[in-house]
Structure 1
Amino acid sequence: MSFPRSLGRFLFVIWQSGGGTQPELGLARLIAARGHAVHVLAPEIHRARVEAAGCEWVAMPPECEFDPSKGRALEDQWEEFLKPTLWGLRIPEALLDAAEMHRPDVVVIDQQLRSTLSAAERIGVKQVTFAHTAYRFHGSFRSDWAEEDAAMTNEARAQLGLESISLHGRPVSIELMDRADSVLVAMLPEFDPWEEPLDNVVHVGPLFEEDVSELAWESPWPSDDGEPLVVVSLSSMYMHQEDLLARIFRALDGLSARVLLLTGTEFDAREVDVPSQVVARKCVPHLVVLPHADLLITHGGMGTIMAAFACAVPLVCIPLGRDQDGNCARVEELGAGVGLPQDANAATIRDATVRTLEASDIRDAAARMAGVVASYGGGVRAVTELEGLL
């Protein structure tokens, strides 16, 4: 990629969204590496990650921090955390203050932050909506939810001195995207078909938080161990995954395979009975370990799926909630893995695991997806789009 024609100032807004955090931080890292000034408005829990990406951290108000003592999962804190975060005024006010201080040329905001996206309209600079869920999730219109969503969004907009939005038969997420200068979708269009794409929507391919070019996988198994490597990764967040993990462990019991469990930072392996054949690690970047894997068993988070695609690894997907049902279904539609229902029992999971390990057609489909991911140049399209707004 050539040097940028001019250097700009970018302000990113990130919250504790789990799978949405990694790709947006990945984009911030790439922009900072190009020499631009990048500030990231984020919770303190993300400060080290922001700084590791080469960006300057801007503190969100302490009230915006997720407090697990009030409920470990996001869904446990609808009134306490989710509503104030997505529709409240604290993050929008912090954005306006940060914009006044740092004078960005471009603001990049997570698609789910309804009131913050609205507040960006007052700044008067280029606005980018960062999308990390598939259209089949955020683009589906359910009149009951759309009306509640619109009411909460318009209440915030009124307090911000902005006119109300009308739905026009579309969900609030699409209405707000339509107001942005650009919508960057951090996935493949092959995975994420839109019924009626907006003119400002650009699929930029997967984006990954870490630069793993100098990282190596330190396997806990002997180098001559030829058993297939099965990686189990069920969200970087807590999602009440204990029961699903127990079923996966029963499914893998006695299977001739090496099994690596990645728990994420919000779940401790000591909370479940980990079989002796399973090696547990808190965090290993997917792009470091998956090139060595034969299969990934996952909840179907978007970032995890995109990492598997990048590394040509077949998937067994078992959703825990949120957007994951649709993600798992799409993996199966593309032939790159098997999607199972949320309540799949151990026998069903074992059958899918054995079948996927042995299926050459699934391996071929996974390899095709790796080729598609590679064609996006590791974030080149996203960087080009952002620099084009300067």
Structure 2
Amino acid sequence: MRILFTSLASYGHLYPLLPLASAARDAGHDVVYATGPGFHPTLEKAGLEPVTAGLTLHEAFGLLFAGDTRSRYEVPEAELNEAIGKAFGRLLPTRFMTDLAPLLAEREPDLVVYEMGNPGGAFAAHQAGIPAIAHGFGRVSSGGPMDHISEQLGVFAAELGLDGDTRFFWGQPFVDICPPSVQAPEFAAGARRVPLRPVGWSEPGDLPPGVESRDRGRPLVYLTLGTTGASQAHLLTSALRGLASLDAEVLVATGPAVDVAALGEVPSNVRLEAWVPQSELLPHVDLVVHHGGSGTTLGAFAAGAPQLLMPQGADQFTNADAVVGAGAGAKLVGDELTTEAVRETAGRLLADRAVADVVRGLAEEVAGMPSPEEVAAQLPQYG
């Protein structure tokens, strides 16, 4: 079977698809992966054939704000949400459609698997008469910028002759890596879900020294604000100071958007790392403090770790609400996010037995979901 996978060129959008794409390849299918060239080395390391398609998020927003000298934080929320709707609901899908059309004609895949943030894959498949299924990257959110995206996509899809609710991806099967108990109820009830266990994916690499051999009597707290511009030095510093005052080891993944020098000197119980293999690290962690990105949220569910979320944008707020609603952690938003609040909340979560029971149950729920190999075996029925 010939299968084309496609996603936006972003860690949070591409990494969730790699386990299924790799399992499909291992099952003997002819797999090609279409995304931006910046992630082609990652795909090659995973043993997948990359091809170029689409714009990056930076390119898309560069086009929308061409000539605008304001920083992202100077743009009013309403204007920013409208731009997000245009980027994800029209600009990015259009470019992916354009780039995928000749590729689909040349490769003639039997099935297109498109990441939910890249509906251009669905639109291109529809125009080529090829079956398509969606692949999620986390909880399906609504509200805020998501409503603007859905509105734009609904108009675009109607122009192409695709009927159905955009929230449920035009009635197509949807590979859902979110545990059912924390998935959006409306989506879980209405979509044609194909459950898939969220398997973390990291670039191959070693864990920081001492993580595997450390004394488990002292908790390990992992702090990350992800790989996007949401990573701000002042926010990281505030959280870091609060965590450093705990009787715990603190491992901070600073990511590419933070100047480590700007963090200054850190206490002896804090370790700064530009990058860590997160999927390998999480099973060793006692608390995850993060921005609310889908990959980290699901990874913590799978690892059975409590979470303290500090959401900054996009779907991070609804992810935080889901974690809090499940009893699996806490959130700090806006003015609540102080050094003292981080210290107090993190200390409470580390000692809370009720939270420990909840996250243990979530880990068991994730472990019981179908594996990538099991879902790869189902793919021929959708082609």
Verify same fold: TM over 0.5: yes
Percent of pairs identical after alignment?
25
Give the distance between the partners of 2:28 and 2:36, measured in 1 at CA. 24
Matched, 1:87 2:90: yes
Task: Count how many residue pairs are aligned between Structure 1 and Structure 2.
Answer: 366
Structure 2 counterpart of 1:154: 155
Matched residue SS, 1:187? coil
Letter matched to residue 174 of structure 2: V
Q: Which has the higher helix share?
A: 2
- What is the aligned counterpart of 2:341 among 348, 353, 372? 348
Q: Comparing 297-306 with 116-125, which one deviates more in the overlay?
A: 116-125
Which residue of structure 2 lines up, in the alignment, with residue 45 of structure 1? 38
Residues 110, 130 of structure 1: 8 Å contact kept:
yes
Counterparts of 1:1-390 in structure 2, within 5 Å, are 8-60=1-53, 64=56, 66=58, 83-84=86-87, 86-88=89-91, 89-135=94-140, 137-138=141-142, 146=147, 149-151=150-152, 154=155, 158=159, 162-163=160-161, 172-174=166-168, 177-180=169-172, 182-195=173-186, 197-198=189-190, 200-210=192-202, 217-220=207-210, 223=213, 225=215, 226-273=217-264, 275-277=266-268, 278-343=270-335, 344-390=337-383
Deviations 1:340-374 (A, max 9, x none): 22432111111111101111221222111111111
Q: Deviations over 1:62-109 (max 9, x none)?
A: x54735995997998989998456413221111111111111111011
Closer/same/farther in 2, CA of residues 284 and 124 from structure 1, 3 Å limit: same
Letter in 2 for 1:87: R
Deviations 1:4-56 (A, max 9, x none): xxxx1110111134422211122212211222111111111100111122210
2:8 partner SS: coil
Question: Which blocks of at least 5 consecutive residues in structure 2 are unaligned?
Answer: 63-69
For the Cα contact (< 8 Å) 1:237–1:267, is it kept in 2?
Answer: no
CA contact (8 A) 1:312 1:366 kept: yes
Distance 1:69 1:193, change over 3 A: closer
**How far apart, CA to CA, are the structure 1 residues paired with 2:31 and 2:122?**
18
CA distance in 2 between counterparts of 1:326 and 1:31 reads 31
Q: Which runs of 5+ in 1 are unaligned?
A: 1-7
C-alpha distance 29-388 of structure 1, shift in aligned 2 (>3 A): same
Residues of 1 paired with 2:231 and 2:190: CA distance? 36
Q: Whole-Å Cα distance in 2 between the matches of residues 317 and 274 of structure 1?
A: 24
Q: Secondary structure at the match of 2:28?
A: coil
What displacement does 1:154 show? 3.1
Aligned-pair RMSD on alpha carbons? 3.3
Task: State TM-score, norm by structure 2.
Answer: 0.83
Code of the residue aligned with 2:224 in structure 1: it is: S
1:356/1:198 CA distance change after superposition, 3 Å: same
Q: Residues 298 and 304 of structure 1 are in contact (CA less than 8 Å); yes or no, is this contact kept in structure 2?
A: yes
> 3-state SS of the aligned residue for 2:178?
coil
